[in-house]
Amino acid sequence: MKIADLYIRVSTDEQADKGYSQRDQEERLRKYCEMNSIQIRKMVTEDHSAKTFNRPAWKKLLSELRSRRGHCDLILFTKWDRFSRNAGDSYQMISTLRNLGVEPQAIEQPLDLTIPENKMMLAFYLAAPEVENDRRALNVFNGMRRAKKEGRVMGRPPVGYINRITETGKKYIAIKEDQALIMSWVFEEIAKGQIHTEQIWKVAKKKGLKCNRSGFWVALRNPIYIGKVLINEYKDEEAHLVEGQHEPLITESLFYEVQDVLDGRKKIKRTTITVDPAIPLRGYLLCPKCCKVLTGSASKGRHKYYYYYHCTNGCTFREKAPVVNEGIVEEIRKYVRPLPFLQLYKQMITSVYNSKMKYKRSDTELLKEKLQLENQRLTRARNLLIAGDLDADDYKKIKIETADNINRLEAQLTTQNDSMINVDPLLNRALSNISQLDKLYEEASTEGKRKIIGSMFPEKFTFENNEVRTTKINEALRLMLLFYKELYAKKKGQNQQKTDLSSYVNAEGFEPSTACLEGRCSIQLSYASISFKTK
């Protein structure tokens, strides 16, 4: 009596679409064994695709057959597509099983493989499900590509978006507010070029971004964030972008700025200093003795750590961190001004801004000219291709390069058209911050404190004799202070005009006098009240 192992395989889509079930296969296999007096050793069930033999249950069965030869004569299944849907892998696996003394057989498509002609039927049985798989895969691919061309985002949405379904059952992606705000911040920070992209990812993770490192780098290249969908290259069709049906998260100009940073086309100055909250001024201070940049560290005391700003490389200068930190707060207080005076400065900025925006039109015209030149370049290349004076490969390179330039110019042109914005809310916020700059500094995080210091003082400064010494302050802040001093002087009634006239004046009026004033013999000009009488 022959001994057989029963192999039952079903995939989820087949079970739903075609009605295959494990119970149905088991029933038919057991009935076949009973009618043919075949002893059943074990039954193996599988829930994996038959595209390859990389299936957990099958690998376990094959390992058992190799270790225990002679315990099984047959492997029975209902049809050959239960065994495999790949003809090449099937022939190799049949040869492996025969070397182990095991014969695979489909009870509903029986074949005597010792007869050479039956191998043609075996090829048909194995090729038919493979063709079916390929046709199904091609249909799915074409359907997804067609949907992408219509602007739909297929598959899992990028971070910052979420899948939604309309009342009619149509799927789309919508902005997920919490993640979208973080991703917008990420793009803006990368475009500034002040912090390394890896550090931005770490900060974004702390803010709550749900994305791993590799997914983060992929997201930065994804045009979905500007409302476009990428159509990959396929056969003779080149890769291109189409307008999506979803809402964009950032502007095209910002997206291309980030691409320039990532590709190294934009020169940037990165800051990679990590600072302890107790020494927020690390990297901004200069040593008053040797003019080198001070570092900061902590010394362990008996009960706590004591922080210092200190020099290195043989210089012995150091200062207690709390003293310096308090000193910079006092320095910041010097630049705090009342809000009513700053409102006058706002009027000046608004006036200058409005006059500057008049010149935006010339910049827009220049962008239009560049865009026209790129289109003309593409037209000339097309004409050369038609005339046979340009190779197809060269034309393809020119078209890709020109298309990229056109996209960038169109993005800049869109930004130029939208650049006329209302600056009043921005100015109100900025002036409000300046009017309480010391409080903002004291309440800010370490990163916020460093941003305030970096924006106020373009150059590094020193701290000596409990006093901060700066060489330069922000130009806008300097103009605000100058404007405030002029107004304050007028309010006090002070005359800011310098005069070279002597302060010694006698009581005789403007007539020159030779009299000596307190031992001084000189000619002086004197002021006297003059009354005019009418006759």
Domain with residue 192: its CATH number is 3.90.1750.20
CA dihedral 412, 418, 424, 427 (to 10 degrees): -10
Domain contains 145: no
Domain contains 155: no
For residue 393, give the amino acid letter.
D
CA dihedral 238, 244, 250, 253 (to 10 degrees): 40
Question: Residue 79 corresponds to which tokens in the numbers above?
Answer: 């049809």
Note whether 44 and 129 are same-domain residues: yes
Q: How many other C-beta atoms can be found within 10 angstroms of the C-beta atom of residue 386?
A: 10
Note whether 331 and 356 are same-domain residues: no
Per-residue pLDDT of the chain (535 residues; tens, 9 = 90+): 899 999 998 876 555 445 557 888 899 999 999 999 999 999 999 888 888 899 999 999 999 999 988 889 999 999 888 898 888 888 899 999 999 999 999 998 888 878 888 888 888 888 887 788 788 888 888 899 999 999 999 888 999 999 999 888 888 999 999 999 999 999 999 998 878 888 899 999 999 999 999 999 999 999 999 999 999 988 888 888 999 999 999 999 899 999 988 888 776 655 555 678 888 888 889 998 888 889 888 888 888 889 999 998 788 888 999 999 998 888 888 888 776 667 767 777 777 777 766 655 567 777 788 888 888 888 888 888 888 888 888 888 888 888 888 888 877 777 665 555 666 777 788 778 878 888 888 888 888 888 888 888 888 888 888 888 876 888 777 777 665 555 555 555 555 444 444 444 444 444 454 444 444 443 333 333 334 444 4
CA distances 259 to 221, 229, 434, Å, are: 7, 16, 34
Range of the domain at 401: 340-426
Domain contains 278: no
Under 8 Å between Cβ of 253 and 247: no
Secondary-structure breakdown of the chain: helix, strand, coil percentages, each rounded to the nearest 5: 50, 15, 35
All residues at 6 or more sequence positions from 194 whose CB lies less than 8 Å from its CB, including other chains: 268, 269, 270, 271
Q: At what angle do helices 392-417 and 252-263 cross, to 10 degrees?
A: 130
Domains held by the chain: number: 5
Note whether 321 and 466 are same-domain residues: yes
Under 8 Å between Cβ of 395 and 236: no
Note whether 239 and 189 are same-domain residues: yes
How many whole angstroms separate alpha carbon 535 and alpha carbon 531? 13
Domain contains 526: yes
CATH code of the domain covering residue 114: 3.40.50.1390
Note whether 379 and 504 are same-domain residues: no
Question: Residue 95 corresponds to which tokens in the numbers above?
Answer: 């040869």
Under 8 Å between Cβ of 449 and 306: no
Note whether 33 and 65 are same-domain residues: yes
Domain contains 482: yes
Note whether 517 and 484 are same-domain residues: no
Note whether 73 and 200 are same-domain residues: no
Note whether 483 and 408 are same-domain residues: no
Note whether 80 and 127 are same-domain residues: yes
How many whole angstroms separate alpha carbon 434 and alpha carbon 332? 10
**Coil, helix or strand for 468?**
strand
Question: Residue 356 corresponds to which tokens in the numbers above?
Answer: 């500057």
How many whole angstroms separate alpha carbon 189 and alpha carbon 197? 9
Domain contains 280: no
Domain contains 156: no
Domain contains 125: yes
How many whole angstroms separate alpha carbon 228 and alpha carbon 250? 11
Note whether 184 and 217 are same-domain residues: yes
Note whether 527 and 405 are same-domain residues: no
Q: How many other C-beta atoms can be found within 10 angstroms of the C-beta atom of residue 462?
A: 16
- The DSSP line for 4-25 is EEEEEE--HHHHHHT---HHHH
Q: Report phi then psi at 520, rounded to 5.
A: -105, 115
